[in-house]
Amino acid sequence: MQLHFYKYQGTGNDFVMIDNRTDFFPKNNIQLIAQLCDRRFGIGGDGLILLENDATSDFKMVYYNSDGNQSTMCGNGGRCLVAFAKKLNVINTKAVFNAVDGLHHASVNENEIVSLQMINVSEINKNADYTFLNTGSPHHVQLVSDLENYNVKDKGAAIRYGSLYGKEGSNINFVKQIDENTFALRTYERGVEDETLACGTGATAVAIAMNANGVTNASSININVEGGKLAVSFTKEDDQFTNVFLTGPATFVFEGTIAI
């Protein structure tokens, strides 16, 4: 069987995209999904995303990590899926889609800049040297010195597999403040089990965590990831963060077919 696919990237977070509106894709084939995401023996990607029909919205997002397992929300993946939906003429410039964490509103402009509404956040676990919160996926946020030379893979894995988060683990974000409303971010992603060039739910978690901890008072925050620049904005009322938007580029890379 020949599988037609598309490749997208959002600030270096790259995804295999498949139009599954006819429900043909073998969704339970973990080995196949992992192989498609393999950078040596497949197409290559941090994850694979299916665009499917949905009864109550423009489309449905089904997201798999590169290990082949279905996973929690992916912010950059969601943004790329909006751009993909526009390419397929499923939407024009605005979208409402269903994901594992509920409905998301989004918009895309002519320059492939996608703004995606993320879930509201109210539960924030603050600790002396880290913060934990869920922005559609679980995130550990930690300020570090010398971020440029930090061993993200080893130190991230040690926390991800350590006693803090149990069997499910967490994504691990290491952060450095640049100025009042700008932070640099490097992320170890569970499911990829390595550092990725960007993480959308991670960028969202960092922005909210830095504000919640009083590191910044800004409600519009720039996040410099290894693969580019993202922006996160929100409304804060007491300890509730609403109207959370993740904004950045979502770029079509190529399309093709592969035998499966």
Binding residues for substrate: 13, 65, 75-76, 171, 189-190, 200-201
Residues 206, 141 contacting (CB under 8 angstroms): yes
Active-site residue identified among 74, 114, 230, 246: 74
Residues 246, 200 contacting (CB under 8 angstroms): yes
The backbone torsions φ and ψ at residue 127, rounded to the nearest 5 degrees and listed phi first, read -130, 175
Considering only CA atoms, give the Rg of the chain. 17
Is residue 74 annotated as part of the catalytic site, yes or no?
Answer: yes
Residue numbers in the known binding site are 13, 65, 75-76, 171, 189-190, 200-201
The backbone torsions φ and ψ at residue 134, rounded to the nearest 5 degrees and listed phi first, read -115, 120
User: Of 64, 60, 5, which is closest to residue 29 (Cα–Cα)?
Assistant: 64
Active-site residue identified among 16, 192, 199, 221: 199
Integer angstrom CA distances of residue 114 from 111, 236, 250, 253: 9, 22, 6, 16
Catalytic residues: 74, 199
